[in-house]
Amino acid sequence: MRANITVSGLPGGRKPQQPYLCSMTIQEARQALQTQLSTIYDDREAGNITNWVLESLTGLSRSARLVKDKEPLTVEQEQCLASYITDLLRHRPVQYVLGEAWFHGLRFYVNENVLIPRPETEELVEWIIEEHKEAAALTILDIGTGSGCIPVALKIALPQATVYSCDVSEGALEVARKNAKDLGADIHFLHQDILDQQAWGRLPQVDLIVSNPPYIPEKDKSSMHANVLEHEPHLALFVSNDDPLTFYEAIANLAIEKLNTNGAVYAEIHEDLGSATLALFQAKGFGRAAVRKDMQNKERMIKAAGLTSR
C-alpha cells in the first residue's frame, strides 16, 4: 500500500504523524479500514462497517467503488476517514459516527440522544402496515418516539393516518422532528412522560397505540456489548429489575382511557418476557392479545385488542 491512515489508540500505541496522508486510493482506504476494524470486530462485521463507511464517504455504491478503486480520496475524505476510524475503534456505533441509520428503506439521522433503529422494530411496523393499509382513516399514537423511525415510517406507508408521537426526552424529540421534516412526514410531536398519568389528558383518542418502550432489566447490562452500553441512551433501554413491565402497564392503562372502539396496541417486547407481557394485557381486559415471533424466532412483539373493560 502506498499510504496508511494512522490514528491514536492503535495497537502498540502508535500515533498519527499528521492529520492525514495523501494519495490513498479507495481500495487502499478499504484495506486500511477493514484491517483496523478487525482488531475489535469479527471479519464479517468489520467488512459490513467498512462498506457502509466508504459508501457514505464517497457517495459510491459497492459495485461503483470496485470500478473506481484506483481513484484517490480527496484530502477532506481522508480527514473524515481518519476521524471515523478513531471513533469506531472506541466502540462508537457506526450509525452515530456517520449520523445515519436505515429503517424501512428510509435514511434517518441519529445521534446519542436516540436508540439506533433495529430490524425487529421494522417487523413491528410491517405488522401494523399489513393490518391497516386498507383503513380509510386512522389515528395513531406512538409512545417513545426516539429517532422518529416508527411514526415516520407509518405515516409514509399509511398517508391516510393522523400520527401523534411522544417522548420524555427533548433531545430525542429534536432528532425526531428533524427526521419527520427531512422525510416529509407530518407528525404531531408531544413532550410527554408516559408514566405521568396526570398528564394523559393532553393525549388524543386514537385507533392504534404503538410503542417500543424501555424493557431491558438493569441486571442485563453485564451481558451487553460496549457499543450499546457506552453510547446508546440508557433512558430508552433500561427498567428496574423489580418492575420490568412498568411501561407496558402504563400503556395498557392508557389504552383503556384513549383507545377508540375496536382499537389495538402494538408493542415491541423483551424476548424473555412474552408470556408475562401477554398475561398483563389479558388481565387489563384485552380479550384478543397475542405474541408474535420475529425472524430470529424470538418472541419480540405483541398485539392487544378486544378491550372489554373501560
Local confidence band at 57 (pLDDT 50, 70, 90 cut-offs) = very high
DSSP string, 89-153: TTT--HHHHHT-EEETTEEE---TTSPPP-HHHHHHHHHHHHHHTT-S-EEEEEES-TTSHHHHH
User: Exposed, middle or buried, 39 (CB in 10 Å: 0-12/13-18/19+)?
Assistant: exposed
Per-residue pLDDT of 238-285, as tens digits, reads 777 778 999 999 999 999 999 999 999 999 999 999 999 999 999 999
Local confidence band at 297 (pLDDT 50, 70, 90 cut-offs) = very high
The pLDDT of residue 20 is above 90: no
What pLDDT is attached to residue 308?
80
Could you say which DSSP state residue 158 is in?
-
Local confidence band at 13 (pLDDT 50, 70, 90 cut-offs) = very low
- 18, 38 contact by CB (below 8 A): no
Could you say which DSSP state residue 72 is in?
B
The pLDDT of residue 213 is above 80: yes
Taking residue 216's Cβ as centre, other Cβ atoms within 10 Å add up to 17
- 33: part of which helix (H) or strand (E)? helix 26-37
Stretch 54-65: mean pLDDT: 95
What pLDDT is attached to residue 78?
94
What pLDDT is attached to residue 225?
72
Chain mean pLDDT for the chain: 90
Which domains does the chain possess?
A: 11-90 (1.10.8), 112-307 (3.40.50.150)
Local confidence band at 310 (pLDDT 50, 70, 90 cut-offs) = low
What pLDDT is attached to residue 184?
98
- 176, 165 contact by CB (below 8 A): yes
Local confidence band at 14 (pLDDT 50, 70, 90 cut-offs) = very low
What pLDDT is attached to residue 309?
61
The pLDDT of residue 49 is above 80: yes
DSSP string, 224-291: S-HHHHTTS-GGGTEE-SS-TTHHHHHHHHHHHHHEEEEEEEEEE--TT-HHHHHHHHHHTTEEEEEE
What pLDDT is attached to residue 8?
41
Closest CA to 24 of 100, 79, 66, 63: 79
Local confidence band at 222 (pLDDT 50, 70, 90 cut-offs) = low
What pLDDT is attached to residue 272?
93
pTM value is 0.88
Per-residue pLDDT of 87-140, as tens digits, reads 999 999 999 999 999 999 999 999 999 999 999 999 999 999 999 999 999 999
